[in-house]
Amino acid sequence: MATLAPSLPALATTPGVRAAAVRHLGPNWYASVMGTAIVANAGATLPVHVPGLRTVCTAVWVLSAAMLLTLLTARAAHWIHHRDRAREHLMDPAVAPFYGCLSMALLAVGAGALIVGRDWIGEPAAVAVDTVLFTAGTAIGLAAAVAIPYLMVVHHKTDGASPVWLLPVVAPMVSAAVGPLLLPRLPAGQPQQTLLIACYAMFGISLLATLVMLPLVFGRLVTAGPLPLALTPALFLVLGPLGQSTTAANKFADVAPGVLPTPYAHGFAAFAVLYGVPVMGFALLWLALAGAMVLRARRRGMDFAMTWWAFTFPVGTCVTGAEGLAQHTGLAAYRWLAIVLYVFLVGAWLVAGFHTLRGLFSGALLAAPGRGPAAPRPVTARTR
């Protein structure tokens, strides 16, 4: 069955239809979970008090957790009933990098449990949820950081670099950024030191891999011109490692005192600013460049695609990075930057979410490549 039935109730009543509906469900769908979770996580730590914001963020986190459970179930059905298609995804250079999104979805929802979820589910449950999701997300992220580049070298044939290449290598950076949340829950001494150093090591893994990939992406733009219209929003993915590494550096500075000897703790505090300020500056430069490319593509007819979720999580990492710099520099400029970027993040999340729901109900987003929904309404383009 190539297309999704027009009515969703049919999926709930017919097992065969449910299995067929997920045949073309790719790992890129985890980006919607990431984008939803970062709205909750970044909003809860904004350097400004907004009445009711934390409650809204907690509700959004619950939504992200429900989305994660739904997608995990659907993707399990995909692997059980459509292994041929799943293997095709792994061999497809345009789809395989999105396996890094599974790791980041787990990590983002797990971090949200400790940041806001604990308000509703309690501290012990939040710690348990984050421990499980952090462990699973980190293991999957490290595996993807090795396996996907291996497939790219050995099996994939590509015409040029793509921003989606960053997805598997940025996953360890997300682990590095959210791992410090668990540090106070560990016994003092070796356990805390081991986790902090492990997070710092994953920071290095992801940063150096990004420094290898990023020149290829920019070189492809300069030599081959703009990306295809539907893929243009993926340029925002470059913001992910930039914002997330700034966030991680600031988190290290938060937890290092009392965990590491004084000289190293002070070193992390200095590193948070000395590293974060120039990297955030480059992130803003890239944001302006990517934004200009997106506006150009929009004028040329770019329609909705699942790549629009790239406007959410990567921007959210820049929000948390700016929040950290606001704390460690005391500059009002970074507080305002975090607020402005968060407003953009929420707007992008609402737009992407609306179009995704519309595509699900029409059947367009779960249709086979090159096929549209059964109804005669216009179909928006999408990238798997």
SS3 for 257?
A: strand
Q: How far is CA 58 from the centre of its chain?
A: 18
Backbone dihedral angles phi then psi of residue 260, each to the nearest 5 degrees: -110, 160
Q: How far apart are CA 174 and CA 166, in angstroms?
A: 12
Report the distance separating Cα 82 and Cα 74, nearest Å: 11
Would you state the structure tokens that stand for residue 205, as one six-digit string?
A: 């893994």
Nearest CA to 31 among 251, 321, 341, 356?
356
The answer to whether the beta carbons of residues 313 and 38 sit under 8 Å apart is yes
Q: What is the pTM of this model?
A: 0.90
Residues in contact with 27: Cβ distance below 8 Å, sequence separation at least 6, in sequence order:
75, 89, 95, 98, 99, 101, 102
DSSP assignment, residue 368? P
In this prediction, residue 12 has a pLDDT band, given cuts at 50, 70 and 90, of very low
What is residue 119's predicted lDDT score, i.e. its pLDDT? Answer: 94
Mean pLDDT of the chain: 90
| Residue type, position 227, single letter | L
Mean pLDDT for 164-171 is 95
pLDDT digits (tens, 9 = 90+) for 288-333: 999 999 999 999 999 999 999 999 999 999 999 999 999 999 999 9
Cα(120)–Cα(130) distance, integer angstroms: 14
> For 298, how many CA atoms within 13 A lie in the half-sphere containing its CB?
9
pLDDT digits (tens, 9 = 90+) for 173-187: 999 999 999 999 999
> Average of pLDDT values for 25-46?
95
pLDDT for the residue 240: 96
Q: How far is CA 105 from CA 67, 133, 230, 264, 301, in A?
A: 10, 9, 23, 31, 30
Q: Return the pLDDT at 380.
A: 41
